Every structure is written in C-alpha cells, then in structure tokens.
Structure 1
Amino acid sequence: MPDSATMLMKQLHDEHAAALWGYCLSLTGRDHARAQDVVQETLLRAWRNHDRLQEGRGSVRAWLFTVARNIVIDDWRAKRTQSEVSVAEVPEGRNPNDHTDQLLLSWVVADAMLALSPEHRAVLVECYFRGASVSEAAHRLGIPDGTVKSRTHYALRALRLSLQEMGVGA
C-alpha cells in the first residue's frame, strides 16, 4: 500500500502538473527542455517538503508556482555570475588612432556590396565612395539623372537587406 507521501505526490501531479507545465513554459521562454527540468525540480522539492503541503497551510498551487519561479530566478542569477569576469584593473580607454572597427565595418560593407547587382553597385560607388553628385554620376555612368536617383534608392534598400542578412544593423 502506498504511503502518504506517494499518494500526495500522485495527487499533486494529477491536480497541478498541467498548470505548472504551462507556467514553467512561460518562465523559460517556451524552452521545453528547461521547462521540464523546472517542473521536475519543483515536484522533487514538493516531495521533500510533503509534510508542509499536507498541513494545509495556503494554496498548494501557489507554493508550486513560487518554487518554480524561484528555481528559474536562481538559475538565471547563477548563469549571470558565471559569465561575469572580474579584472584587476580597469581596461584602457579607446585609442583614438585605432581604426580597427572602421576597417572591419568597411570589409563587411564591401562583402554586402558584392550581393548587389552591377548597376546598383556602380551607382553607390559613384555617389557614396567617389562623392559624385547625381549629375556627375549620371554623366560617368551614361544614364539619366532620374535613373541615378532611383537606382540609388533601390541600391540602398538592397544593401540594407544584405547587411541585415549578415547580422549587421537593425
């Protein structure tokens, strides 16, 4: 014959597991594996504290939800402290002569430009890299001014999309 703790756990599972599962899914950002771990840990703690739950003090579901929430918060805090790195000295300020970021960004933009059509690439090179006006770019490319304007518009949209696909920008 099952003991009172076993019967209590079966009753807890039958009455609260579905609601607890849904709550844990929301707490973990819909991470099913993590939610399952939290549910199991919560029910394990309920089993360990079955005497408290049998005394009938307060809502059992509220107790389970509080325990689940605390497990998620404790895990989040533990991971946050593990990723923090302490250093003996404050890092040096940025060197104004260091143009590494600018160089890397120019490489990324150059790669994104390769995704553009030759016509779009040509109009951006003329207008943005060579600094030509619309009429100068039109003359150099042998196309009307209006075509330079529209190609520039669509080339910038395509460039923005290409950069987004590369994970750059918003």
Structure 2
Amino acid sequence: MRNRTDLALRLTEALSHNTPDLLRYLERRLNRDDAADALADLMTIGWRRANTLPAGPEQARMWLFGIARHVVANAARTERRQSNLAERLRETLRTTPAEVRSIDEDAEVRDAIARLAPDQAELVRLIHWEGFSIAEAGKILGISASTARTRYQRARADLKAALSLHGDTQIYARDNPRAIVAAAQSEQR
C-alpha cells in the first residue's frame, strides 16, 4: 500500500509542477480547446501508466512530455481521419443521383409515413429507403419475419389509402423509387 501511495504522490507532484508547461506545449501544437482535452487525456494516460513513472523529477517531466507527444500524434491522426471521412461524405453527396436523394425529400410520402404507427413507419423506412428485406428489417426491429410481413402489409395498405387521398398512389419501391407497387393494388382486389 505504501508503494501505491508513494507513486500517487510522485505522479501528483510531477503533474502539478509540469501542467503549465504541458498545456503550453499542447497549445502550440493543437488549438486551445483541443489542447485542454489533450491535457485531460495525458493525465488519464499518466494515471493509467503510473507504475512506469520514473523516479527523479526531471525523468518524470520527460516521461510526461513523451506522453504529451503521443497524445498530439493521436489527435493529428483523429483529425486526418475525420477530414478524410468528411471528404468521402461530401463526395458521396456530390455523386448521389438527385432521384435517390429525392426519396427522403418527398413531403407527401414522408407525411404519410409519419402518420403510420411508429413500428410500421420504421419498418417501411428500413425496407424502402435503407434497402433491407422484410426479414432483415424485422430482425433490426427485434420482431419475427412473419410479424414484420404482417405489419408491412398493413403499412402498405395504410400508405396506399393515405397517398390515394392526395391523388398519389405511388409507394416507393427499393429498386425504382417512383414505381407503383402493384402488389398493394392486387391485394385489395
């Protein structure tokens, strides 16, 4: 127990003596907000790795700056990943055909789906907009495939009725967003 207490005291002392210098080091390499977060990360890592804290104050200082250097490198990698992801998303949005994007933008269909029971609405969205099969959508929602089929049939009938009130009997199918779902019409005959 004495060793652990001694270690905690040494780390606390090293951190209190070096925190201002560590923060300045981090602020020179990162923006101010990120530097504060990086300092918190550095302290967390320091406490996690406290058993490797060198004995002397100068060695402890170098040890803390070594951790700071790794925290800065991790922050730079994170920034690059986020930037690359944002660029890929921008590219996807630029190259996605307008017809596909318009599925979500069609107010009448959105409103009709919003009037469905929440479980039916989510089922319709998963099937028609996200491209899952009825069984897959059921699994995502935590219901059996047969329950999903039954709910989907009800949802389709409710949507057909709601959209026909507006003169629009189109229900958006996965492969052709503007196709009329013939199955919904034939089931009502």
Using CA pairs under 8 Å that are at least 6 residues apart, name the structure with larger relative contact order, 1 or 2. 1
Category of TM-score, reference length = shorter chain: 0.3 to 0.5
Task: State which structure, 1 or 2, has the greater radius of gyration over its C-alpha atoms.
Answer: 1
User: Structure 1 length normalisation: TM-score?
Assistant: 0.42
Report the structure, 1 or 2, having the larger helix content: 2
User: Structure 2 length normalisation: TM-score?
Assistant: 0.38
